[in-house]
Amino acid sequence: MMVRLIQREGQRGIEVTVLSAPGDQRAERLADRLRTASGKITAYTSQTGTERRVVPLASVASIRSDGDHALVRLVDGETLHSPSRLFELEAALQQTEFVRTSRQEVVNLDNVQTIRPEFGSRLVLGLRGGGEAVVSRSYAPQVKSRIGIVG
């Protein structure tokens, strides 16, 4: 892989071009990570589908692991499929409002509407657009810290 940085006087914003052979999965994943860094995520309407959608992170309620890919649940209730694994998406979403709630899920805190304590030190997060996310006992302290709950 060759990486070049070109800086120009008067250039506004950042333009990135990823040039690869057709079907190069590494290039597609790199482009997906770059989109995520700019506040967007790429997903497909079906696991085997070809209809790709680029959606703003603000419209994502949660992302859940589903085998070797991830399911992206939007605030409008639609579920999209990402070819990336959950840990890859989580790494790309660092420095955003997404937080790990269990081994299987990350949630966008900007789209949490309710928080309910549960037995066994767990929490249940009510998500915008319907649906809930259970915060497991081991991730509860991190989630509480991120939302400002002491104790």
- Residue at 20 is within a domain: no
Q: What is the pLDDT of residues 84-137, one digit of tens each?
A: 899 999 988 888 899 999 999 999 999 999 999 998 889 999 999 889 999 999
| Closest listed residue to residue 77, CA positions, set 11, 132, 149 | 132
- Residue at 11 is within a domain: no
Evaluate if residue 36 carries a pLDDT over 70.
no
- Residue at 140 is within a domain: yes
Among the residue ranges 6-20, 31-45, 67-81, the one predicted with the least confidence is: 31-45
CATH (domain of 143): 2.40.50.1020
Segment 77-84 shows an average pLDDT of 92
Distances (CA, A) of 24 to 18, 20, 40, 41, 131: 11, 6, 21, 19, 35
Q: Which residues pair with 115 in a beta bridge?
A: 125
Residue 108: CB atoms within 10 Å: 23
Evaluate if residue 48 carries a pLDDT over 70.
yes
Q: How many domains are contained in the chain?
A: 1
Segment 17-24 shows an average pLDDT of 87
- Element of type H or E holding 36: helix 25-37
